[in-house]
A and B are shown apart, each in its own frame.
Chain A
Amino acid sequence: MGLMLNLRKKLRFILRLFLRKDKVRIGIYGPPNAGKTTLANRILRDWTGDIMGIPSEIPHETRRARLREGVKIQVDKKTLTIDILDTPGLATKIDFHDFLKYGLSEEEAKRRAKEATEGVIEAIKWLDDLDGILLVMDATEDPYTQVNVTIVGNIEARKLPLLIVANKIDLPNASPARIRAAFPQHQVVPVSALKGINIDSLYRAIAEKFG
């Protein structure tokens, strides 16, 4: 089983080296409340006029992965077609008590927690079916979390192309430099997905990295 999985990963890596695909499937990953859905909405709004979902201040608002296929991005007269996967936030613990302070009833909080655990599993499973990853981190938070370290490690082990998106740079205490220092081996693109700040640089980086 493990051998087959390893062979599959190696085959996908070799194929990626030799085949430039017209269409790539990109997953948006990160911890809860990093701004994954806001970024997915920004990309979709800019290129399709649509949105992926409604973001919320309550953690684990996205509890099922959502896929939007065939989004065409144009950078420097080149067109890249991407499938965008917005994933539930990854976590090592989910305590329903954390949701109560947002005014949810105990029943709602427990249901959200249960769905969130299923979402984490789904997000991890999707890693095997993607061509690249946008890892969204909240630039106002310490990037050296176990979730971030685990995601980066898994992406590196799968040899998937990775762009780290340092989100929320519109906030005064944002520090993309802290993210660069934590993960110096990867390209970091500072943006505000909410305000659209530096979003063109992200599209250029997407075209270069995944195109």
Chain B
Amino acid sequence: MILDNVKDGKIVVLESGLTPEEQAKLIELTMLEIDHEKFVGIEVETYPIREKSIFEKIFGKKKGRLMVIGPANRLKTIEKREDFIRAIVEI
């Protein structure tokens, strides 16, 4: 669903992000969808997952962080740090 929207030119904002495994799956699916004409891939903006708290370690709850996914030709990362992302979005 994320990729369908991105392929339509939309920028998808996920409040709680994706897990690393889901991100890897998204990259795999993206590679399958690249047609070398209209769709050349995605740009993903996210913050790294913070160190888990003891509660999260015990109960295995993952806390994702904000993630923005868009088509590579419309979204471009300028700068990324632990708690700071600067990007250009072509509207």
Chain A residues within CB distance 8 Å of chain B? 90-96, 110, 113-114, 117-118, 120-121, 124, 127, 142, 144-146, 149-150, 152-154, 156-157, 182, 185
Give me 11 other A-B pairs in contact (C-beta within 8 A), A93-B40, A121-B28 excluded.
A92-B41, A92-B72, A93-B43, A94-B41, A96-B36, A117-B32, A124-B28, A144-B80, A146-B46, A150-B23, A153-B20
CB atoms of A145 and B32 under 8 A apart:
no
Chain A residues with Cβ below 8 Å from B46 are 146, 149
A117 to B32, CA, bound (A): 7
A91 to B48, CA, bound (A): 17
Separation in Å of the B89 CB from the closest CB of chain A?
Answer: 15
CB atoms of A118 and B31 under 8 A apart:
yes
Tell me which of B27, B40, B43, B44 contacts A124 (CB under 8 A). Answer: B27
Separation in Å of the A144 CB from the closest CB of chain B?
Answer: 4
By beta carbon, the residue of chain A nearest B80 is A144
Chain B residues with Cβ below 8 Å from A153 are 19-20, 23, 48-49
Closest 6 A/B residue pairs (Cβ): A93-B41, A153-B20, A93-B72, A117-B31, A95-B40, A144-B80
What are 18 contact pairs spanning A and B, CB under 8 A?
Answer: A91-B41, A92-B41, A93-B41, A93-B43, A96-B40, A113-B36, A114-B36, A118-B31, A124-B27, A142-B79, A145-B80, A146-B44, A149-B48, A150-B20, A150-B23, A152-B20, A153-B19, A153-B48
CB atoms of A92 and B36 under 8 A apart:
no
Tell me which of B40, B45, B81 contacts A146 (CB under 8 A). Answer: B45
Chain B residues with Cβ below 8 Å from A124 are 24, 27-28
A164 to B59, CA, bound (A): 29
A185 to B51, CA, bound (A): 9
A124 to B30, CA, bound (A): 12
B15 on the interface (CB 8 Å rule)?
Answer: no
Chain A residues with Cβ below 8 Å from B49 are 153
B53 on the interface (CB 8 Å rule)?
Answer: no
Separation in Å of the A60 CB from the closest CB of chain B?
Answer: 12
CB atoms of A154 and B24 under 8 A apart:
yes
CB atoms of A142 and B80 under 8 A apart:
yes
